[in-house]
Amino acid sequence: MKKNKRKEIQEKSLPELLAESRNLRQELFNLRLQQASAQLEKPARLRVIRRDIARMETRISALRNQAA
């Protein structure tokens, strides 16, 4: 992952991260549907989305721990 992507995640606020995570989860769901119907063109996109979600969730957890 590029450093600028990490930096973008670090700079976002909690509501922004939650919204972005929700959008990524929706995209992952749609990609899984495409995969099930054998219409998925870029299977590597699944991995990228899963990892981005994990990065967002890690940052969300860190922000919540700081607030507590």
Q: Minimal CA–CA distance to 25: which of 57, 59, 3, 49?
A: 49
For residue 4, is pLDDT > 90? no
Average pLDDT, the chain: 93
Provide Rg for the chain, Cα atoms: 14
Angle between helices 44-67 and 3-11 (to 10 degrees): 40
Q: Spell out the domains of the chain, with CATH numbers in brackets.
A: 14-67 (1.10.287)
pLDDT band at 68 (very low <50, low <70, confident <90, very high): confident
- Convert the pLDDT of each residue in 24-37 to its tens digit: 999 999 999 999 99
pLDDT band at 2 (very low <50, low <70, confident <90, very high): low
For residue 1, is pLDDT > 80? no
Q: Is the separation of the CB atoms in 56 and 6 below 8 Å? A: no
pLDDT at 27: 97
